[in-house]
């Protein structure tokens, strides 16, 4: 192999192109020709330096990029407002649950029922009302329980409200006793609102995920 052919083949190999000769023959020539071997070493060094040249300087656009970003992320205010509403609902439900428990406690401890009810009937009524209070407090502590308590609370409240209205008209119950049932109505309203908000949120999450994938 002649030196010009060797150097042309070596240069092609440096560029990642086919050398056009047998690689073994090229290597034998470089091993036996000091001039081509020196030329190949210098050429390889120059090529490496050219490829490892420092990148050209670029302007620092950090301030411009940060200034272009929105002050708040999209939906952040809505999410914060939603958390605030949920916290307010839970606190209100906590207050109703505590009031319901306080109303039930005297019948459990003293057996004194409303309208001179027998002791055991007063105990049953107190236990029932305390159970309702426990359900309200459980939802206030863990809102995910709201949908599960709605059948019980809804049925009890609907029947009690209907019977209370009929008893008021017939004079079988005093107005102050009937007013106490407003706690149950308030508790049911709060639980239903919490359950509805959680259901709406669970429906919105898949749609939001689909929008992000499409984007």
Q: What is the DSSP letter of 9?
A: H
How big is the chain by its Cα radius of gyration, in Å? 41
- Let me know whether 141 and 183 are in one domain: yes
Instruction: Select the more confidently predicted residue: 86 or 111.
Output: 86
- Let me know whether 114 and 175 are in one domain: yes
What's the total number of domains in the chain? 2
Does residue 194 belong to any structural domain of this protein? yes
- Let me know whether 88 and 39 are in one domain: no
Spatial contact of 104 and 126, defined as CB atoms under 8 Å apart? yes
Spatial contact of 143 and 188, defined as CB atoms under 8 Å apart? no
Does residue 60 belong to any structural domain of this protein? no
**Highest mean pLDDT of the ranges 32-36, 105-109, 183-187, 211-215:** 183-187
Determine whether 212 is exposed, middle or buried from the number of CB atoms within 10 Å of its CB (0-12, 13-18, 19+). Answer: exposed
- Let me know whether 43 and 85 are in one domain: no
Chain segment 157-189, per-residue pLDDT in tens: 898 888 888 888 888 777 777 777 888 899 999
- Let me know whether 124 and 169 are in one domain: yes
Instruction: Tell me the HSE value of 86 on the side-chain side, using a 13 A CA sphere.
Output: 19
Chain segment 43-57, per-residue pLDDT in tens: 888 877 777 666 678
Does residue 163 belong to any structural domain of this protein? yes
Token duo for residue 96 = 């109703």
Whole-model pTM: value is 0.54
Spatial contact of 139 and 191, defined as CB atoms under 8 Å apart? yes
Segment 24-38 mean pLDDT: 84
Does residue 7 belong to any structural domain of this protein? yes
The pLDDT, as a whole number, for residue 211 is: 45
Distance CA 161, CA 167 (A): 10
Residue 9: domain span: 3-51
């Amino acid at each position: 192999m002649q030196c010009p052919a060797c150097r042309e083949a070596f240069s092609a190999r440096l560029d990642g192109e086919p050398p056009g000769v047998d690689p073994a023959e090229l290597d034998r020539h470089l091993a036996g020709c000091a001039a081509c071997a020196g030329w190949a070493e210098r050429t390889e060094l120059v090529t490496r330096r050219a490829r490892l040249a420092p990148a050209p300087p670029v302007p620092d656009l950090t301030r411009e990029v940060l200034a272009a970003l929105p002050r708040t992320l999209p939906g952040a205010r809505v999410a914060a407002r939603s958390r605030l509403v949920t916290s307010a609902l839970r606190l209100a439900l906590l207050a109703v649950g505590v009031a319901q428990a306080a109303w039930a406690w005297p019948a459990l401890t003293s057996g004194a029922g409303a309208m001179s009810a027998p002791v055991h009937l007063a105990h049953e009524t107190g236990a029932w009302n305390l159970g309702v209070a426990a359900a309200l407090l459980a939802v206030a502590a863990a809102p995910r329980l709201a949908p599960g308590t709605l059948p019980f609370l809804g049925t009890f409240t609907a029947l009690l409200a209907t019977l209370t209205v009929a008893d008021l008209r017939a004079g079988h119950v005093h107005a102050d006793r009937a007013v106490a049932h407003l706690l149950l109505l308030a508790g049911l309203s709060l639980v239903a609102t919490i359950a509805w908000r959680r259901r709406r949120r669970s429906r919105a999450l898949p749609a939001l995920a689909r929008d992000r994938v499409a984007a």
